[in-house]
Chains A and B, each alone.
Chain A
Amino acid sequence: MTIALEAYASFVGAGTIDELRLLGRRLRGRTVQNVNSTAVGGGVAEILNRLLPLLRELGIDARWDVIRGGDEFFAVTKKLHNALHGQPLPITPHDVDIFQQTTEENLHTLDISDDLVFIHDPQPVQLVAAAKPRSRWIWRCHIDLSAPDPQAWEFLRPWVERYHAAVFSAPQFARKLPIDQVLIAPSIDPLADKNRDLDPATVEAVVTGLGIDPERPLVTQVSRFDRLKDPLGVIEAYRLVRRYNDCQLLLVGGSATDDPEGAQVLAECRDRAAGDPDVHIVELPPTANLEINALQRASTVILQKSLREGFGLTVAEALWKAKPVVAGAVGGIPLQITHKYSGILTHTVEGAAYWIKQLLNAPDFARRLGENGREHVRWNFLLTRHLRDYLLLFLSLDHPGESLISLPD
């Protein structure tokens, strides 16, 4: 379903929508080609599905291509992804050959002739080899590059340097590069099933359907069963809280059937929670957006106790529902939470437990955090801000090196 830009005016005001149209007018007729490596699943595909119709509504000819590759290529890119996240995984000469060969195959099949070419993540990075002199190329990095394995970064860097600009989701991901580096945070869509308003009956039906008591406080973490999300730390924090407060814990994440490590983490969580009827560990399919929405809305406190994080959009989702959030100060989370104003930033299990207790015992303070959080998301992490940043980025490429750009009528 395509949603018109006007539909967002009720969230951000008509003035913001006007500004988007003003910018769009200056880019009308331009062609923008997005390239990534997957058409379905994952945050990149989700955001492209939502942003492209809005770009088109503004008169920008935006399209989206997906590179093709065999299992061997995607094994290499998975390794590269993990190494860029800091794991010491060697990139072998064979890996380099596979990567280059797949790039060449895609260059034969893809028509890359647009004014602006927006390459998402490392998989299609080498397509820049085919850049035409008048086109502008942007590399959009969606992953945490704060401490990459040096060899993996050295593999990527010469390619990234051939772009006109690189875009990162958080300031700490910036690298030493001779090209412009831009901060564009991801966003949530307030009209998506995961975020739209729900009636209380729907919320209660989902909660009771999972055996959760809607009358008692609920502390929730929504995330994959991944060690970097620290679900075992969450259970530990819950145990510390339970010494003083009555509450239930809900760990809810995607199914772990195709992820051996995820299945192991899930098993460990179940083992650690065994015997406690107030700990609910739930696997939901990736399409369960309404259910996730309902569970976030039913929660008293929401956690995102990540140890590493690309951006952590579950935080923005929770804040948009005006929930008090306790989250690890990693990745893009400090951009979303201003400590003690729009949420709580923590560094330890004990700290998380301390703040959960505070929030359970001081509902007025918790409510204020949630209200501030919702306003912060309204102005900084909704889809319309994301769209505006992309339009500004496109315009900035017409004015290299300028810090003040005047765009008269």
Chain B
Amino acid sequence: MTRIARTPFRFWTRLTLTKLTGRRASDLAELVEHLRVVPLSVVFHHTHHFLVQHQHLSPEPPNDFAFWATHVLQEDRLGEQLAAVDTVQFEHLRVLRECIVQVIEKFLETGQTLRTAPPGEEFHFMDAVSFVLPTRHRATTLAEFSEALRHVGSATLAYHLFESRLRVGTETNDFSHWLEQELGEAALARAICRLDQYTYTMEGLRQRLLDLVSREHTHRGDR
């Protein structure tokens, strides 16, 4: 029997307008100096914007700092460490910022000669104004949820999966929370929670979600 949610899932989206801060860094010392004092929305932009802007590239460094260290400064080791910062585990941007700063500071303590970015490839700190608004998609059953997943924009996936943890400070995400609370889909909710969302392209992630939902359909029979 098809289970129907009392509260429908409303798909929202977050769209951003990029603001320029005028802050720029040519080397790692300058990068960390700015990073310590910029607003947290700047940290959010550089750790989350990459996913949506470079959604076709995978596997890719999940943040701009890792990308710049690796591809502009050619600091492969540091770039790898920055890429490995597990963005998904942080429930507050302040802690994420501290972690990134610590990784860079540890590198600076080695006293290596700092490499300078070629002209034109400096790191530009950017901020974002976020606009959050509901889309026309909503779901009350698993089938409707799956159908909506096919059609929503990638910013909607990012909003409900990547950003919910930071928004509400919990360990779950909007999809898992609703699936468990409203449809009793505990196993599916857990499977979505376990996804390392940052290692997929946006389209890859959409497909993975659809696969998980479809597997649940098959497992439980036609709902």
Give the interface of A toward B (CB within 8 A): 13-16, 18-19, 22-23, 26, 168, 171-172, 174-176, 180-184, 328-331, 333-334, 338-342, 345, 347, 372, 375-376, 378-380, 388-389, 392-393, 395-396, 399, 402-409
Contacts and interface: CB of A to CB of B under 8 A. Distances in A.
A19 B153 contact: yes
B56 A392 contact: no
A19 B13 contact: yes
Nearest to B19: A182
A16 B151 CA distance: 10
Nearest to A26: B133
16 contacts: A15-B153, A18-B153, A23-B133, A26-B133, A172-B122, A174-B22, A183-B19, A183-B20, A183-B126, A329-B118, A331-B120, A342-B57, A375-B56, A379-B55, A396-B17, A406-B133
- Please report whether the interface of chain A is mostly helix, strand, loop or mixed according to DSSP: mixed
Contact of B20 (A14, A168, A338): A168
Interface string B19-38: 11110100000000000000
Interface string B117-153: 0111110101111111111100000000000000111
A408 B56 CA distance: 30
A17 to B, nearest CB: 9
Contacts of A19: 13, 15, 135, 153, 155
A338 B120 contact: no
Contact of A15 (B118, B120, B152): B152
Contacts, number: 126
B156 A15 contact: yes
A345 B120 CA distance: 10
A404 B39 CA distance: 13
Contact of A182 (B20, B54, B132): B20
B20 A171 contact: yes
Contact of A407 (B72, B133, B155): B133
Contact of B134 (A378, A388, A408): A408
B41 interface: yes
Nearest to B155: A19
A403 B43 CA distance: 13
Contact of A181 (B19, B71, B154): B19
A329 B120 contact: yes
Contact of B132 (A334, A341, A388, A407): A407
B132 A181 contact: no
B18 interface: yes
Contacts of A22: 13, 133-136
Contacts of B131: 23, 392, 395-396, 405-407
A142 to B, nearest CB: 15
B67 to A, nearest CB: 8
B110 interface: no
B53 interface: yes
Contacts of A389: 17
Nearest to B120: A329
Interface in B81-133: 118-122, 124, 126-133
Given A183-B18, A329-B118, A329-B120, 5 more contacts: A181-B19, A328-B120, A372-B57, A392-B131, A407-B131
Contacts of A175: 22
Nearest to A407: B133
A340 B56 contact: no
B158 to A, nearest CB: 12
Given A15-B153, A19-B155, A340-B71, A388 B120 contact: no
B57 A341 contact: yes
A404 B71 contact: no
Contacts of B18: 182-184
A97 B123 CA distance: 40
A172 B120 CA distance: 8
Contacts of A375: 55-56
A334 B133 contact: no
Nearest to B154: A15
| Listed residue (B15, B52, B71, B126) with the most chain A CB atoms within 10 angstroms of its CB | B15
Contacts of A396: 17, 129, 131
Given A330-B120, A407-B132, A15 B151 contact: yes
A342 B122 CA distance: 18
Contacts of A376: 54, 56
Interface in B171-220: none
B134 A393 contact: no
Contacts of B52: 379
A181 B19 CA distance: 6
Nearest to A409: B134
Nearest to B55: A379
Contact of B121 (A183, A334, A378): A334
B153 A403 contact: no
B56 A379 contact: yes
Contacts of A18: 135-136, 153
B19 to A, nearest CB: 6
Contacts of B67: 338
Contacts of A342: 57
